[in-house]
A and B are shown apart, each in its own frame.
Chain A
Amino acid sequence: MAVILELAVQGAQMLSVLLLAPLLIGFVRKMKARLVRRQGPSLIQPYRDLVRLMRKEVVLADNASWLFRVTPYLIFAATWVAAALVPTFATGLEFSWAADLIVIVALLGSARFFQALAGMDVGTSFGGIGASREVMIASLAEPAMLLIVFSLALVAGATQLSTVAAFMGSPEVGLRVSLGMSLIALVMVAIAENARIPVDNPATHLELTMVHEAMILEYSGRHLAMIELASFLKLLLYMSLISCVFLPWGLGSAVGGSKSLAIGAVAYLGKLAVLAILLAVFETAVAKMRVFRVPDFLGAALMLALLGTLLLFVSRSL
């Protein structure tokens, strides 16, 4: 019985991240529009966009290879698996031990690897520019992310996200300098990884400064829908990660029964809303950077994360 419940919770988590991700994007867009006094599109516009894309035909470039057609599914699968492994409303899920935080980071790395390859497949300069900038950003963001993982692992004594989340919810954590640094670094990495302002602009096409959109310029129809959904999932993943590690209050547990799960779900939605509003405010308040300012931005994240880790190596209580 317990196993069935746990499997059900796991399945609910996988479905809920899939269904929630477009809503989250819609909410962020709505908030951004309201902040500049526009009416903004409806909350469910991202769902409509996805459905519309799926109904459209695919226009494939002449020399696109099989890799170009397989990649959207691979990106989607890797991102979905990663997103499903992050505790959203409950910890201790059935398959949470299949992968720890390092694996989740690496899964996103796999998705990016194939996305960059797909960008180069058609052989236009747009794909190349996007891919080469994406790997440049990743080459700084990934080590920063791993160092953040190191800090969390040193504080919590584990890289297993469920254990980390449970530890962060316990009273023995307290305020730590290293955790503060990790949080700032994690937010910076999350902004870069999700191609948000000031690193990239998710709302533009055909600008020389764009990165993510340049890589997927050749995609259309159902392929584009998959990639869009994967990028929605990625934003949800990072928000879930930040909320489960740094805002672990109210997190339910698969063994705690339905009441704790319900509280967890409500708390999770509340946390997502708060983070989405913060993101919208931040994006409205800052301007986009030049591409070659991005290494400075991410270098700062890397150094913060390294400093946090070093502090923990010096003393576990810092």
Chain B
Amino acid sequence: MSSTVALLLCGPAALLATAILAAAVSRLAAATRLVYGAALVISATLLAIVASHLAGNPGAVSATTLPLGLPFTGARFRLDGLSAFFLVVVNLGGGITSLYGLGYGRHEPAPHRVLPFYPAFLAGMNLVVLADDAFSFLLSWEFMSLASWALVMAHHRDEANRRAGTIYLVMASFGTLALLLAFGTLAGPAGTYAFDAMRTAHPGRFAAGAVLVLMLLGAGSKAGLVPLHAWLPLAHPAAPSHVSALMSGIMTKVAVYGFIRVVFDLLGEPAWWSGIAVLLIGGVTAVLGILHALMEKDLKRLLAYSTIENIGVIFASLGLALAFKANAMPSAAALAFTAALFHVLNHSFFKSLLFFGAGAVLTAAGERDMEKLGGLIHRLPVTSFVFLVGCVSISALPPFNGFASEWLIFQAILRSPELPQWGLKVIVPAVGGMLALSAALAAACFVKAFGITFLGRARSAVAERAREVDRWSLAAMAVLAAFCLIAGILPGLVIDGLSPVTLSLIGDRMPVQMAEPWLSIVPIAESRSSYNGLLVFVFIAVSASLAAFFIHRFASHALRRGIAWGCGFDEAVPAAQYTAVSFAQPIRRVFGGFAFRARETVEMPAPGALEPARLKVDMHDPAWEIFYQPITGAIDFATERLNHLQFLTIRRYLTLVFVYLVILLLVLALWP
């Protein structure tokens, strides 16, 4: 059974070959089409291989060892249910992004800085998901990080992008360090780096706790868990938009994969408190992420912050699965775990779609500051429609896909009173409240994102002149919008597809959904809860059409265009409209006080003076101030002190060397 995985490994190899080729030809005019076309074909092929594997025997495991990497160990690769699911996520996202890139890449001012790294990035993500020993996992992980770093630095002449790249590099190194330590702890004194060996060796309670914390640091920093999220809203938007889509939609999912692989697969039976830790971090991440997004006026940064929220939702659901698994409630654990994976898939759809939309806006208007956009629904009809679909999906509104997965998560939360531990009994409803709050805030956030960018009147000349984007981009967005709808009205299809994963990692699965009458989803029992996305969709469509038919049959058809009502005032200036900042003001007043220590000060001019009054808003990011500033302060302090060592005389250097040698020898002599 090594043939499938060997076949799959040809994919990353082909992508790497494309990357090398791209480096050679990237200055040619046809290079863009060549590279994205090749990436599209390779991703589609990989997807087809995984699909045929899943169609044949979804639970089958296929493994192989390549004579690469460390001497005597080789590089192991393996395909099982979990990696197959994440391969689907990576290659579906990668393929559609390449399709988008075929059109979007043509507007790239510096293609030679993007084209070689793009296929390498895809290859890295594929390899992480396939890796089956710690060495190849970490190597692929680092490769993925570095390739994405290079893409973040594509427009390196911008000062903000350089800063983003530096912070990203530091955080990525920190994350890899944590992963290295986690794998080291798992490997134990015997030092077996193969995942198979780790799976059978059960670490002690202390070691298992340490691994969980290290994985939360390592995978969490890549995924964007608060407070390790600081790099994400800087780095994701800095890259070209299709790469932002890959980083937000797909790479964060690869980080989730790393967490699941270690915590659910390699670590064995979890301790019950691990569920609390993951749940709490997830809930806090969800709320803070979406609050940050609401305060943002840069469209791409808003989307990046919303990624943090969705990662929080996914981790909260994973925490719930851990808590159920630790308490031997496999059916509830399967429900929570399925919900988390379903949300992984959904988020990869709508976040890619929204970043594509932001890229289209950037191409069309050359602007991603929402305060300078507006009225684009008239200029970009197709883009605005698909972007609206993405907004509705991510706001968890029926009948789209975001709602289906959130609904499952809520159903899982409602199973939790059966948990025995008091800590969990108190935490779970609180986290449930946090998730509900973040869902409501997400809707507010995307009303703002769509309303300010696409509705109203154009706030600048560039927005007024915007032109609809090319067909490749539109096709990619339309495909994703269709996926959002299909996954929303036929959630049973996805849930059943996830059953091999839950069976292998949890040992149980959700009931078969596609056999339910009318294609409902029924997680536990019909009298308890059920949801039928298809029927809700049909009901809404039918009753809206009925209403429209009735109105057009019996009511007046008269329609007159007139100027908008401004209470007798002429609101001719588009600047008089609500802006992104003013739209968020009520929510900032309600939540900003404790989340960001937001302060508003009004500077009124003296009576009779002609200068305008000003409203100043002062906000702080608690993560920066509590976690990062002390660290940078300490590093600055230490370097300042150590700086003196650079300017010593030769005698002092020799003394230092001598003292150091003496200390070293003393330590060696005294070491037991």
Tell yes or no: A287 within 8 A of B by CB: no
Contact (Cβ within 8 A) B561 A60:
yes
* Nearest CB of chain A from residue B190's CB, rounded to whole Å: 43
The 8 Å CB contact of A97, one of B378, B410, B526, B547, is B526
Tell yes or no: B270 within 8 A of A by CB: no
Tell yes or no: B605 within 8 A of A by CB: no
Closest to A101 in B: B529
State which residues 74-126 of A face B: CB under 8 Å.
74, 76-78, 80-81, 84, 95, 97-100, 102-103, 106-107, 109-110, 112-113, 116-117, 120-126
Tell yes or no: A193 within 8 A of B by CB: no
Contact (Cβ within 8 A) B560 A59:
yes
Closest to B524 in A: A158
Contact (Cβ within 8 A) A150 B562:
no
* Nearest CB of chain B from residue A58's CB, rounded to whole Å: 5
Using Cβ atoms and an 8 Å threshold, which residues of chain A touch B455?
65, 67, 117, 120-121, 123
The 8 Å CB contact of A316, one of B411, B417, B426, B558, is B417
Closest to A54 in B: B555
Using Cβ atoms and an 8 Å threshold, which residues of chain B touch A30?
none
Tell yes or no: A262 within 8 A of B by CB: no
Using Cβ atoms and an 8 Å threshold, which residues of chain B touch A146?
410, 432-433, 436, 439
Bitwise, B538-569 to A at CB < 8 A (1) or not (0) is 01110110011001001110111111111100
* Nearest CB of chain B from residue A249's CB, rounded to whole Å: 21
Bitwise, B389-429 to A at CB < 8 A (1) or not (0) is 00010011110000100010011011011000000011011
Known: A135-B443, A143-B437, A313-B426. A97 touches B416 (CB 8 A): no
Contact (Cβ within 8 A) B586 A132:
yes
Using Cβ atoms and an 8 Å threshold, which residues of chain A touch B433?
143, 146-147, 302, 306, 309
Closest to A116 in B: B447
Tell yes or no: B44 within 8 A of A by CB: no
Known: A97-B532, A107-B398. A159 touches B411 (CB 8 A): yes
Closest to B410 in A: A102
**C-alpha gap A56/B536 in the complex (Å):** 32
Contact (Cβ within 8 A) B416 A313:
yes
Contact (Cβ within 8 A) A76 B543:
yes
**C-alpha gap A141/B590 in the complex (Å):** 13
Tell yes or no: B574 within 8 A of A by CB: yes
Tell yes or no: B576 within 8 A of A by CB: yes
* Nearest CB of chain A from residue B411's CB, rounded to whole Å: 7
Using Cβ atoms and an 8 Å threshold, which residues of chain B touch A117?
447, 450-451, 455
Closest to B452 in A: A120
Using Cβ atoms and an 8 Å threshold, which residues of chain B touch A76?
543-544, 547
Tell yes or no: B664 within 8 A of A by CB: no
Closest to B377 in A: A65
Using Cβ atoms and an 8 Å threshold, which residues of chain A touch B62?
none
State which residues 488-532 of B face A: CB under 8 Å.
518, 520, 526-532
State which residues 137-153 of A face B: CB under 8 Å.
138-143, 146-147, 150, 153
* Nearest CB of chain A from residue B578's CB, rounded to whole Å: 3
Closest to A136 in B: B586
Contact (Cβ within 8 A) A55 B578:
no
Contact (Cβ within 8 A) B440 A142:
yes
* Nearest CB of chain A from residue B539's CB, rounded to whole Å: 5
Contact (Cβ within 8 A) B567 A123:
no
* Nearest CB of chain A from residue B324's CB, rounded to whole Å: 15
Contact (Cβ within 8 A) B540 A78:
yes
Tell yes or no: B535 within 8 A of A by CB: yes
The 8 Å CB contact of B436, one of A77, A103, A147, is A147
The 8 Å CB contact of B571, one of A66, A78, A124, A160, is A124
* Nearest CB of chain A from residue B550's CB, rounded to whole Å: 9
The 8 Å CB contact of B539, one of A66, A81, A141, is A81
Tell yes or no: B119 within 8 A of A by CB: no
Closest to B403 in A: A106
Contact (Cβ within 8 A) A63 B457:
yes
Contact (Cβ within 8 A) A129 B414:
no
**C-alpha gap A272/B378 in the complex (Å):** 45
**C-alpha gap A95/B447 in the complex (Å):** 31
Using Cβ atoms and an 8 Å threshold, which residues of chain A touch B565?
61, 124, 126, 217-218
Interface stretch (choices A35-43, A221-229, A276-284): A221-229
Contact (Cβ within 8 A) A73 B544:
yes
* Nearest CB of chain A from residue B435's CB, rounded to whole Å: 9
Contact (Cβ within 8 A) A131 B451:
yes
Contact (Cβ within 8 A) B540 A81:
yes
Tell yes or no: B16 within 8 A of A by CB: no
The 8 Å CB contact of A124, one of B403, B452, B536, B566, is B566
* Nearest CB of chain A from residue B379's CB, rounded to whole Å: 11
Contact (Cβ within 8 A) B578 A132:
yes
Tell yes or no: B430 within 8 A of A by CB: yes
Tell yes or no: B441 within 8 A of A by CB: yes
Main secondary structure of the interface of A (DSSP, over half): helix
Contact (Cβ within 8 A) A80 B543:
yes
Contact (Cβ within 8 A) A306 B536:
no
Contact (Cβ within 8 A) A120 B456:
yes
Contact (Cβ within 8 A) A60 B559:
yes
Tell yes or no: B585 within 8 A of A by CB: yes
Interface residues of A, CB < 8 Å — how many? 85
- Residue with the greatest number of chain A CB neighbours at <10 A, chosen from B398, B411, B457: B398
Known: A80-B543, A221-B558. A309 touches B429 (CB 8 A): yes
Tell yes or no: A310 within 8 A of B by CB: yes
Bitwise, B288-319 to A at CB < 8 A (1) or not (0) is 00000000000000000000000000000000
The 8 Å CB contact of A313, one of B425, B443, B556, B578, is B425
Using Cβ atoms and an 8 Å threshold, which residues of chain B touch A73?
544, 547-548, 551
State which residues 187-229 of A face B: CB under 8 Å.
206, 217-218, 221-222, 225-226
Contact (Cβ within 8 A) A97 B578:
no
Tell yes or no: B444 within 8 A of A by CB: yes
Tell yes or no: B583 within 8 A of A by CB: yes
Contact (Cβ within 8 A) B561 A95:
no
Contact (Cβ within 8 A) B413 A113:
no
**C-alpha gap A73/B545 in the complex (Å):** 8
The 8 Å CB contact of A128, one of B430, B540, B583, is B583
Tell yes or no: B589 within 8 A of A by CB: yes
Known: A103-B531, A106-B403, A135-B447. A124 touches B436 (CB 8 A): no
**C-alpha gap A99/B448 in the complex (Å):** 28
Closest to A309 in B: B429
Using Cβ atoms and an 8 Å threshold, which residues of chain A touch B407?
102-103, 106
**C-alpha gap A316/B419 in the complex (Å):** 12
**C-alpha gap A22/B64 in the complex (Å):** 70
**C-alpha gap A112/B452 in the complex (Å):** 17
Using Cβ atoms and an 8 Å threshold, which residues of chain B touch A100?
529-531
**C-alpha gap A75/B554 in the complex (Å):** 20
Tell yes or no: B584 within 8 A of A by CB: yes
Q: Which 3 A-B pairs have the closest CB atoms?
A: A128-B578, A57-B558, A123-B456
Can you name 26 A-B residue pairings with CB atoms under 8 Å? Answer: A54-B555, A59-B560, A60-B561, A63-B378, A73-B547, A77-B540, A84-B539, A99-B531, A99-B532, A103-B407, A110-B392, A110-B397, A113-B447, A117-B450, A122-B456, A125-B571, A125-B578, A128-B578, A128-B582, A133-B586, A146-B436, A146-B439, A150-B413, A150-B429, A295-B590, A310-B429
Taking Cβ atoms with an 8 Å cutoff, the residues of B that contact A are: 374-375, 377-378, 388, 392, 395-398, 403, 407, 410-411, 413-414, 416-417, 425-426, 428-430, 432-433, 436-437, 439-441, 443-444, 446-448, 450-452, 455-457, 518, 520, 526-532, 535-536, 539-541, 543-544, 547-548, 551, 554-556, 558-567, 571, 574, 576-578, 582-587, 589-590
**A-B contacts besides A59-B560, A97-B530, A100-B529, 11 pairs, CB < 8 Å:** A63-B375, A65-B377, A113-B395, A120-B452, A123-B456, A124-B571, A132-B448, A142-B436, A143-B436, A160-B529, A313-B417
Taking Cβ atoms with an 8 Å cutoff, the residues of A that contact B are: 54-63, 65-67, 73-74, 76-78, 80-81, 84, 95, 97-100, 102-103, 106-107, 109-110, 112-113, 116-117, 120-129, 131-133, 135-136, 138-143, 146-147, 150, 153-154, 157-160, 163, 206, 217-218, 221-222, 225-226, 291-292, 295, 302, 306, 309-310, 312-314, 316
